């Protein structure tokens, strides 16, 4: 069987329609990713435009050329809009139908219909513009770690480049000796075959990208604190253990901080839980801005946070802690019109070797935090042997006092019974 243009057109119609329905079916299964619906309708529009192209000669040029091209450009615009929506940007209605409008207006210009090369140049330019714009949308959203983005960017750029070279290549390639040269050119056969392969590939890549995002969000949702957007307890402990393990071969000074908001319950009682949540968000933003990207920072629960600072000696840790303490107090002077003025107490431990694991370091930082709270709050304390022994003595004294109190109560009860 010869792979002629008519056969390619027929196959393309079926493939575009099937892919469009497949994407729409996938969107129905997960309507949260509306970009998939845009991409599905883009394929259906392309199927309709190719159908109209196939009617060339049987219907007027207004339908088989002008309207068909307008629908084709809109299909590529739908793909571009889907890419914008995928990365949380708004659709742009003017640009969405701009290519189709430009073509229909140009078609009314005297002499435009008679100039085949000008029509090819304009149509190729519009398709290339939308295709490269789609690649750019995926490129600027590359901070989201989706592997499927990269083959999509490459294929879209290559497809647009091929269309852009359509006019100069078409002039160099031979034309088959037929009456209908437009549809029997070697170049049109090449373009049709490439477009068919492209539409199949890009549909499955876009579908894989949507699936990858869903899986990525499900994975990160279990590791992100929903209120503050930072790492939760599980993520912090998991990443912290892994980081300390990597440093075991080449130990460097590491600072571990425990940060606890002072009198947080009274903030909720005085201003309401909405303000309390806002204070937590402010603290997360302030502290995240004070630590480096290579450091770990997370919320352990309630109003308690933790940080792990790599390659950080005592002096540097104290500077960071003081910056957090001072900036947080300043940032909460006015919270949504309320004079909250919240403060934070910080306990720090510095590790110079790989002997202690993260749990042990957090326990030592907790000793320092206890001392900061006991010393009046809104303070920074660094864990030391003296601090740990002092807390142990306090704990022992409290235990002895509690036992003595129970013994006194028991003796009083026995005397009353006698």
Using the 3D structure, point to which of 221, 251, 270 is the last residue of a domain: 221
Using the 3D structure, point to which of 170, 199, 221 is the last residue of a domain: 221
Q: Are residues 60 and 158 in the same domain?
A: yes
- Residue 95 is predicted with a pLDDT of 94
The whole domain housing 330 covers 233-382
Indicate the helix (H) or strand (E) that contains 273: helix 273-290
User: Each residue's pLDDT tens digit in the chain (418 positions)?
Assistant: 455 667 777 888 999 999 999 999 999 998 889 999 999 999 999 999 999 988 888 888 889 889 999 999 999 999 999 999 999 999 999 999 999 999 999 988 888 877 877 888 898 899 999 999 999 999 999 988 899 999 999 999 999 998 777 655 555 544 444 444 444 456 666 777 778 889 999 999 999 999 999 888 888 778 899 899 999 999 999 999 988 888 877 778 899 999 999 999 999 999 999 999 999 999 999 999 999 989 999 999 999 999 999 999 999 999 999 999 999 999 999 999 999 989 999 999 998 876 568 888 999 999 999 999 999 999 999 987 555 545 555 555 555 555 555 555 545 545 555 5
In DSSP notation, 231-244 reads B-HHHHHHHHHHHH
The SS3 of residue 293 is coil
Q: Are residues 313 and 292 in the same domain?
A: yes
Number of alpha carbons in the 13 Å side-chain half-sphere of residue 307: 28
Q: Are residues 35 and 138 in the same domain?
A: yes
Pick from 305, 276, 303: which is nearest to 290 by CA? Answer: 305
For the chain, give the number of residues.
418
- Integer Cα distance of 44 and 48 in angstroms: 6
DSSP state of 308: E
Would you call 24 exposed, middle or buried from its count of C-beta atoms within 10 A (0-12, 13-18, 19+)?
middle
In-domain check, residue 158:
yes
In-domain check, residue 166:
yes
Indicate the helix (H) or strand (E) that contains 258: strand 254-261
Would you call 194 exposed, middle or buried from its count of C-beta atoms within 10 A (0-12, 13-18, 19+)?
middle
The SS3 of residue 179 is coil
Q: What share of the chain is helix, strand, coil (3-state, %, to 5)?
A: 65, 10, 25
The CA-based angle 86-230-383, given to 5 degrees, is 165
Q: Are residues 159 and 12 in the same domain?
A: yes
Q: Are residues 203 and 334 in the same domain?
A: no
In-domain check, residue 407:
no
In-domain check, residue 209:
yes
- Residue 178 is predicted with a pLDDT of 44
In-domain check, residue 257:
yes
What residues pair up with 305 in beta bridges, in sequence order? Answer: 259, 299
The SS3 of residue 264 is helix
Q: Are residues 29 and 71 in the same domain?
A: yes
In-domain check, residue 395:
no
In-domain check, residue 389:
no
Q: Are residues 73 and 147 in the same domain?
A: yes
- Residue 186 is predicted with a pLDDT of 60
Q: Are residues 23 and 84 in the same domain?
A: yes
Using the 3D structure, point to which of 200, 221, 242 is the last residue of a domain: 221
Q: Are residues 84 and 183 in the same domain?
A: yes
Query: Which are the contacts of 350, defined by CB distance < 8 A and separation ≥ 6?
Result: 253, 254, 255, 312, 313, 314, 317, 382, 383
CATH number at residue 262: 3.30.70.270
Q: Are residues 55 and 144 in the same domain?
A: yes
In-domain check, residue 123:
yes
Residue 301 · residue 309 · CB < 8 Å: no
Total domains in the fold of the chain: 2
Q: Are residues 81 and 208 in the same domain?
A: yes
- Residue 213: count other Cβ atoms within 10 Å of its Cβ: 19
In DSSP notation, 333-359 reads SSBTTB-----EEEEEEEE-SSSS-HH
The CA-based angle 229-234-239, given to 5 degrees, is 90
Range 140-157 burial, b when 16+ CB lie within 10 A, else e: ebeeeebebbeebbebbb
Range 271-305 burial, b when 16+ CB lie within 10 A, else e: beeebbebbbebbbbbbbebbeeebbbbbbeebeb
- Integer Cα distance of 164 and 127 in angstroms: 8
Q: Are residues 211 and 293 in the same domain?
A: no
Query: Which are the contacts of 306, defined by CB distance < 8 A and separation ≥ 6?
Result: 236, 256, 257, 258, 259, 296, 297, 298, 300, 362, 365
In the block, tokens 């590790």 appear at 351
Q: Indicate the pTM of the whole model.
A: 0.67
């Amino acid at each position: 069987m010869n792979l002629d243009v008519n056969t390619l057109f027929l196959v393309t119609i079926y493939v575009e329609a099937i892919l469009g329905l497949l994407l729409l079916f996938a969107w129905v299964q997960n309507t949260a990713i509306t970009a998939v619906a845009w991409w599905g309708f883009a394929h259906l529009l392309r199927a309709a435009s190719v159908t109209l192209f196939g009617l060339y000669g049987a219907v007027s040029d207004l339908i088989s050329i002008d309207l068909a091209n307008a629908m084709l450009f809109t299909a590529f615009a739908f793909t571009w809009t889907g890419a914008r929506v995928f990365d949380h940007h708004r659709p742009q209605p003017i640009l969405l139908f701009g290519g189709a409008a430009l073509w229909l207006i140009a078609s009314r210009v005297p002499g435009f219909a008679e100039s085949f090369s000008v029509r090819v140049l304009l149509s190729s330019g519009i398709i290339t513009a939308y295709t490269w714009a789609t690649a750019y949308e995926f490129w600027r959203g590359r901070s989201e770690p989706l592997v499927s983005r990269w083959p999509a960017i490459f294929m879209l750029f290559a497809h647009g480049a091929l269309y852009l070279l359509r006019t100069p290549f078409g002039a160099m390639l031979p034309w088959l000796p037929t009456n209908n040269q437009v549809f029997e050119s070697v170049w049109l056969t090449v373009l049709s075959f490439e477009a068919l392969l492209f539409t199949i590939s890009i549909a499955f890549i876009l579908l894989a990208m949507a699936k990858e995002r869903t899986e990525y969000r499900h994975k990160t949702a279990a590791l992100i604190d929903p209120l503050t957007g930072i790492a939760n307890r599980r993520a912090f402990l998991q990443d912290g253990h892994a980081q300390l393990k990597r440093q075991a071969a080449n130990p460097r000074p590491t600072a571990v901080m425990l940060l606890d908001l002072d009198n947080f319950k009274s903030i909720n009682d005085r201003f309401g839980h909405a303000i309390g949540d806002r204070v937590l968000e402010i603290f997360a933003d302030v502290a995240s801005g004070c630590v480096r990207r290579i450091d770990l920072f997370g919320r352990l629960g309630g109003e308690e946070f933790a940080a792990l600072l790599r390659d950080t000696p005592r002096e540097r840790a104290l500077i960071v802690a003081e910056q957090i303490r001072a900036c947080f107090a300043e940032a909460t002077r006015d919270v949504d019109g309320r004079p909250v003025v919240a403060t934070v107490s910080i306990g720090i431990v510095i590790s110079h070797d790989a002997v202690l694991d993260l749990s042990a370091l957090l326990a030592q930082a907790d000793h320092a935090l206890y001392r900061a709270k006991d010393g009046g709050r809104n303070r920074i304390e660094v864990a030391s042997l003296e601090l740990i022994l002092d807390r142990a003595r306090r704990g022992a004294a409290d235990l002895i006092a509690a036992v003595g109190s129970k013994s006194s109560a028991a003796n009083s009860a026995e005397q009353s019974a006698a």
